[in-house]
């Protein structure tokens, strides 16, 4: 009963913050860091209370918050560099080394404990989000910060009767918490939602009579005069006197708009700057309802 209520609390908190983030991202394409910091702080508080009052773990388990806090703050603080003017900063070195020392200690103490490895996946997902951002798989900083924060909010698979994981046994769920953390389920479902967008674009363009494959799968036509006030990327632009097409543009917007104006083009194919926070938010709710799609296949 308690775990169900805790899962519902996490659902409400996550939905509320992601809704606000989605609205801000849709309106301005910016999400303030304060939102994620507050959400992450609440998530840490919930996790601490769960370990203390519900799971009643040994005090050494709370050392996991040291690497969690360090990695979390790394996404937000503007700290001094590790190396500056050819010299090593000992304070930054200690800051970055402390989580590793704590983690090695906890492995020696809890190396065979399933709960410990479930908590370790918080760190794994947080670091994974940094990697996704570094390689531009998560294009926006807000997207990476959302994943980092969700990793803390949802360290375990939710337990809601009739929803989430009712198709599989608890033993399988415990294993999946380690090998496929719940935050990755949210990313998986969010990615599946993104795949719907080309279908929607295709149907809308068919209805309007704008037939141009493959452009009609990835965008729509828009007046050149309205491009500057819109969150879109022009797929078409002039370069060296020739009209060129790029299906997945990510730069040079101002220059491309200017090239189109100089040619007096009235309309151009564009692709919208869809904030990934919105699919993450839908994927969050979707994950609570259906859980891990892979488990159903198993």
Task: Please state the domain extents for the chain.
Answer: 2-195+276-297, 196-272
Please state which of the ranges 56-60, 113-117, 167-171 shows the lowest mean pLDDT: 167-171
Compute the distance between CA of residue 155 and CA of residue 47 in angstroms, rounded to an integer: 8
Q: Give the residue, 62 or 265, on which the prediction is more confident.
A: 62
Compute the distance between CA of residue 209 and CA of residue 263 in angstroms, rounded to an integer: 24
- Cis bond upstream, residue 214 (ω within 30): yes
Compute the distance between CA of residue 17 and CA of residue 22 in angstroms, rounded to an integer: 9
Compute the distance between CA of residue 64 and CA of residue 242 in angstroms, rounded to an integer: 58
Return the pLDDT at 82: 87
pLDDT band at 158 (very low <50, low <70, confident <90, very high): confident
Per-residue pLDDT at 171 exceeds 90: no
At residue 32, the 3 state secondary structure works out as coil
Compute the distance between CA of residue 24 and CA of residue 135 in angstroms, rounded to an integer: 25
Compute the distance between CA of residue 262 and CA of residue 241 in angstroms, rounded to an integer: 11
């Amino acid at each position: 009963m308690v775990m169900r209520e805790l899962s519902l609390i996490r659902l409400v908190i996550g939905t509320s913050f992601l809704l606000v983030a989605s609205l801000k991202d849709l309106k301005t394409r910016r999400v303030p860091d304060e939102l994620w910091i507050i959400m992450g702080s609440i998530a840490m508080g919930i996790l601490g209370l769960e370990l203390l009052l519900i799971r009643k773990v040994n005090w050494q388990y709370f050392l996991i918050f040291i690497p969690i806090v360090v990695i979390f703050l790394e996404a937000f603080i503007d700290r001094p560099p590790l190396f500056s003017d050819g010299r090593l900063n000992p304070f930054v070195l200690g800051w970055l080394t402390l989580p590793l020392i704590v983690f090695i200690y906890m492995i020696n103490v809890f190396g065979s404990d399933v709960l410990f490895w479930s908590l370790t996946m918080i760190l794994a997902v947080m670091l994974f989000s940094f990697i996704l951002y570094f390689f531009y798989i998560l294009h926006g900083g807000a997207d990476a910060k959302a994943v980092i924060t969700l990793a803390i909010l949802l360290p375990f698979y939710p337990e809601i009767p009739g929803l989430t994981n009712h198709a599989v046994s608890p033993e399988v769920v415990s294993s999946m918490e380690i090998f496929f953390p719940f935050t990755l389920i949210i990313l998986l479902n969010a990615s599946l939602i993104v795949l719907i967008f080309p279908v929607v674009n295709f149907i809308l363009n068919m209805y309007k009579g704008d037939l141009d494959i493959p452009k009609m799968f990835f965008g729509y036509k828009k007046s050149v005069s309205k491009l500057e006030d819109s969150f879109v990327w022009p797929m078409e632009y002039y370069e060296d006197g020739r009209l060129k097409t790029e299906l997945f543009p990510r730069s040079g917007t101002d220059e491309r708009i200017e090239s189109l104006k100089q040619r007096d083009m009235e309309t151009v194919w564009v692709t919208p700057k869809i904030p990934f926070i919105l699919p993450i938010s839908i994927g969050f709710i979707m994950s609570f309802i259906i859980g891990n799609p892979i488990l159903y296949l198993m």
